[in-house]
Chains A and B, each alone.
Chain A
């Protein structure tokens, strides 16, 4: 995991605008393989049926929220290796702590910049490459 352009991303957010923004930023970083899901349920089904390298997920979503999706991913042996970056408007410290304790690879609060997203993604990739 050292070339971001080769990774397959799943962007999960109930707002199509935000999915488009994240997709646009990833495309500017050279990422080609980007899929989208509008909530945790759809995301989980996609993760089980298709191979992904990275999940970028909102928290506050209908049906299955980001915390529930994160827990479901970490509970699934075939998926638990996937890094999940939370990108959310939830700014309570307890939510951030809960996300990390649940296995999130990073946490970004909205509104955010392209530089922040790029920085977090690269740090996660470096950390995972170092861990082998």
Chain B
């Protein structure tokens, strides 16, 4: 966002300003219509509607994204834990049979070997199911990706319109660069930025330069 301001001065000054400027009202009406149309559009996309029955409006689709990604992460972690347990079982059984064979090959009966093969076959079958679950859990990406794209497009359109409106309505001294003291979260694009690091090795270099 290019423009940053405190709310009260803008409200006071822009009230007086906009009273003399019908274009501002016209533009505000245009933005409202744009927002209304885009939110409606978000609500009627058939594929998303099928996947998110019951979500009443576009705003709740953001909660939907959080929910779908959270569910997918849990599903994957659960499947990984179960697959690792199976894997651990195979490892223990294999070690036991290997130890028996190494100590005295004659002690390992054909029944032991047949049991081992059956256990491995069953366990690998279950592991394969867990891997399939992990693969299927990624379906959230398709659904949420579409919602994100729509919300981003809406945000860009709104920002453009609001910036135009503010440039038109706000006194020039209020048009200042925004600066946030908040925590920023993940850096989506670090290209051309010198104030952020883009990977762990840059963190390590920075820490090393501080003698850390």
Which residues of A are at the interface with B, using a C-beta cutoff of 8 A? 16-17, 20-21, 24, 59-60, 65, 89-97, 100, 106-110, 112, 116
Partner-binding segment picked from B7-15, B32-40, B128-136, B191-199: B191-199
Tell me whether A90 and B185 are in contact (CB under 8 A). yes
Besides A17-B73, A89-B186, A95-B183, 13 new A-B residue pairs in contact (Cβ under 8 A), listed by A number: A17-B70, A17-B77, A20-B73, A20-B77, A89-B187, A91-B184, A91-B187, A92-B187, A92-B197, A94-B195, A96-B207, A97-B210, A109-B200
Residues of B within 8 A of A112 (CB): 200
A59 to B184, CA, bound (A): 11
* Separation of A59 and B183 alpha carbons in the complex (Å): 9
Q: CB within 8 A of B77: which of A24, A60, A92?
A: A24
Q: Which of B183, B187, B199 contacts A60 (CB under 8 A)?
A: B183
Chain A residues in 8 Å Cβ range of B203: 91, 96, 107-109
How many residues on the B side are at the interface (Cβ–Cβ under 8 A)?
A: 23
Interface residues of B in 37-91 (CB under 8 A from A): 70, 73-74, 77, 80-81
- B residues bordering A, Cβ < 8 Å? 70, 73-74, 77, 80-81, 183-187, 190, 195-200, 203, 206-207, 210, 212
Contact present for B206 and A93 (CB under 8 Å): yes
**A107 lies within 8 A of B183 (CB):** no
CB A93 to nearest CB in B, in angstroms, measures 6
B206 touches A65 (CB 8 A): no
How many Å lie between the Cα of A2 and that of B195 in the bound state? 36
CA of A11 to CA of B197 in the docked complex: distance in angstroms? 24
Closest residue of chain B to A20, judged by CB?
B77
How far in angstroms is the closest Cβ of chain B from A102? 13
A57 to B190 alpha-carbon distance, docked (Å): 23
A contact residues around B81 at 8 Å (CB):
24
Q: How far in angstroms is the closest Cβ of chain B from A70?
A: 14
A17, A65, A107: which contacts B207 (Cβ < 8 A)?
Answer: A107
Q: A96-B206, A97-B206, A100-B207 are in contact. Are A91 and B183 (CB under 8 A)?
A: no
